[in-house]
Amino acid sequence: MNSTEQTAGSIVIVDDNPTNLRVLSAMLEQAGYKVRPALSGELALRSVAASPPDLILLDIRMPVMDGYETCRRLKADEATRAIPVIFISALSEIEDKLTAFQAGGIDYVTKPFQTEEVLARVRTHLQLHHMQLHLETLVDERTRELSQSEQRYHRMLEQTIQAIAMTVEKRDPYTAGHQLRVSQLADAIAEKLGMDKYAREGLRLGATIHDIGKIYLPAEILNRPGRLGDIEMALVRTHPEVGREIIAKVDFPWPVAEMIHQHHERLDGSGYPLGLQGEAIIPEARILAVADVVEAMASHRPYRPALGIEKALEEIRRGAGSVYQPEIAAACLALFEQDGYQLPAAPTD
């Protein structure tokens, strides 16, 4: 048992089976967490309202109010919306998991579970939740204390953003460093377009966590070789909206939440999750879309080897004026073909 787990926070466990409650409670208490059991969704809602925990473990099959409805009510309440919910259930079909994520869950553990898996998931999501709260505090402090050192604030903000980005990428070793490389390329494109330094700083920070919503995706989907099925792809396509929800309450001086939400939108409306077109997509997201495609195509993925920078630039050239803003596409192409820009090397281990 380490000191991080001992001080990590409180957890509400919701399950109508007393045996399951005892097993989970003992496991988490031994790891140093404060645990409150609840035998039904109704009791859980009352317990959470009286004293909000740091995390909720929630079963699905319960009488009167099942886990899905319990989670929806938690997410509909401003006071409990931000509390992370991990579903723990014997239901193992991908449709069950999709419903759980749509209800607002951040993760899904299938019974019978392994102790180490449950503790690892709990630890990861509590760390992310605490970092999110810390980030909100930093931004609030910046608003209240404008007299403090600008340089010190930006350094702390960037360090927190980097910590969140690393938390996301630890679950997906195949794309480690992707967000950082995208942010560097997006910044270079923005500089070439003449974007001012302040706006570029916001773009760089947004790009560094543009895939933060993937923290909610099952690791087996992120790391699976081969093509994903329709339902699994539907899950993956929830990550821009989930990412926006994570960041929405943080009062950034830049449209970071919108960058995250729109980075898969396309000029002609063929993107997701909203199918936005043209000027409805913010400029930062248009730049981020180009940088994201170039890095993703040029790098290795679990379902294919790296396609290389030439294929990536060919895609940008093909889509210029249709799916990608022509000026942004031209700036990206000029960086590589005229200025000699190179993507930073991806990690080798």
What's the confidence (pLDDT) of residue 284? 98
Give me the residue label for tokens 């190179």: 342
3-125 adopts what CATH topology?
Rossmann fold (3.40.50)
What's the confidence (pLDDT) of residue 168? 67
pTM of the model: 0.61
Report the 3 state secondary structure along 228-265: CCHHHHHHHCCHHHHHHHHHCCCCCCCCHHHHHHHCCC
Q: Let me know if the fold of 3-125 is the same as that of 149-337.
A: no
What's the confidence (pLDDT) of residue 141? 72
What's the confidence (pLDDT) of residue 152? 64
Q: Which amino acid is at 71?
A: C
Tokens of 302: 């679990």
DSSP at 113: P
Residues facing 320 on adjacent strands: 324
What's the confidence (pLDDT) of residue 104? 92
CA distances from 270 to 94, 253, 284 (A): 26, 29, 18
Angle separating helix axes 150-170 and 115-144, nearest 10 degrees: 160
What's the confidence (pLDDT) of residue 154? 65
Backbone angles phi, psi at 56, to 5 degrees: -125, 130
Backbone angles phi, psi at 172, to 5 degrees: -140, 75
What's the confidence (pLDDT) of residue 7? 47
Residue 177's CB is within 10 A of a number of other CB atoms, namely: 17
Q: Which amino acid is at 308?
A: G
In tens digits, what is the pLDDT along the chain, a chain of 349 residues? Answer: 444 444 458 999 999 999 999 999 999 999 999 999 999 999 999 999 999 999 999 999 999 999 999 999 999 999 999 899 999 988 888 888 899 999 999 899 888 888 888 998 898 888 888 888 888 777 777 666 655 556 666 666 666 776 776 666 666 655 567 888 999 999 999 999 999 999 999 999 999 989 888 887 776 676 676 677 888 888 889 999 988 988 888 888 899 999 999 999 999 999 999 999 999 999 999 999 999 999 999 987 766 777 899 999 999 999 999 999 999 999 999 999 999 999 876 554 4
* Distance separating the N- and C-terminal Cα atoms of the chain: 28
Tokens of 38: 């609840």
Domain range list for the chain: 3-125, 149-337
Torsion of CA 138, 141, 145, 150, to 10 degrees: 10
Question: Do 331 and 193 contact (CB within 8 A), yes or no?
Answer: yes
What's the confidence (pLDDT) of residue 253? 85
Identify the three-state secondary structure at position 285: helix
Identify the three-state secondary structure at position 275: coil
Residue 170's CB is within 10 A of a number of other CB atoms, namely: 13
Beta-carbon contacts of residue 98 (< 8 Å; ≥ 6 apart): 231, 234, 235
Superfamily of domain 149-337: Hypothetical protein af1432 (1.10.3210.10)
Tokens of 107: 């993760």
What's the confidence (pLDDT) of residue 62? 94
Beta-carbon contacts of residue 281 (< 8 Å; ≥ 6 apart): 262, 265, 267, 289
Question: Do 80 and 48 contact (CB within 8 A), yes or no?
Answer: yes
Tokens of 18: 């007393």
What's the confidence (pLDDT) of residue 348? 47
CA distances from 33 to 8, 55, 58, 112, 122 (A): 6, 10, 16, 21, 10
What's the confidence (pLDDT) of residue 145? 63
